[in-house]
Structure 1
Amino acid sequence: MFGMFIEQRTADDLDLIRLLDAAFAELVARYGLEGRSGIGPGAHYLVAVVDGETVGCVAVQTTGVAGTGEVKRMYVAPAARGQGIARALLKEVERQAAELGHTRLRLVTGHLQPAAVALYESAGYEPTDPWGTYATRPGTFCYAKPLTA
């Protein structure tokens, strides 16, 4: 893709905040208020920038499980979808997670997000037992993937 790059941003970055707000709004529109979940302190954020416009984001956070990170808030603005941006963000967040010392990533998506399910499964994520609050939420799909060095 011409003119795309991925870079780290901090939680107070205005472009990142705009994307996270849009991601939350989309989740609430699909799932109601239960679609909203937070990102823990110490999360590492990445954004995709295409031709000067910030169009996608993803975060990785620690989980409290040794060696395991969690992918959070994978989002690409609707006008930028279908261009491989989510796949590029996922690949880069996996690289960053490995650099942070994670040997495994996990994530959650829902039954109303078939494109996300397809992306994660095609990237090697496999279904895993649900954890935490997801254990009792119908319609959630939990995935995990070992990371290679």
Structure 2
Amino acid sequence: MLITSLLPLLTNYSLGFDLVAGPDDTVTLTIVPRKAAEAAHTLANGEARPISITASAAEIDAELGRGIDGALGQLIASRKTLADQIAEQRQAAELARTAAAQAAKANTAAVKPAAPTAPVKASVSSPPADATPGEPASLW
């Protein structure tokens, strides 16, 4: 029954199990999802992280018996969804980075340097005819 309920997960994942007995009749089950040999998609880092469940043996059996509708199936599906979202965000960021680089190149090519101009020469005017040496010139 357990393997039959996990069969939908086994189409995309190879599942490794590790069982450790704990105090008060608890059991810690560590599940390591790996890519199944026939799976089309590649596992993201989040999908391949081990999952650890600590509960009574009956509780773990009941939860694993629910298959993809149980906690294990939902957790793996959530990790896959998050991995897909991260991949989409990385792709969008890369596209934005590429578009910004192309826009910067286009702006650089469109802006032509200004033509050099001849240096401006200061014109020196001669003092008025009625100016007296040593006194400031009048503006009127």
Band of TM-score, shorter chain:
under 0.3
Name which one, 1 or 2, has greater alpha-carbon Rg: 2
> TM-score with structure 2 length normalisation?
0.26
- Return the structure number with greater strand share: 1
Structure number with higher helix proportion: 2
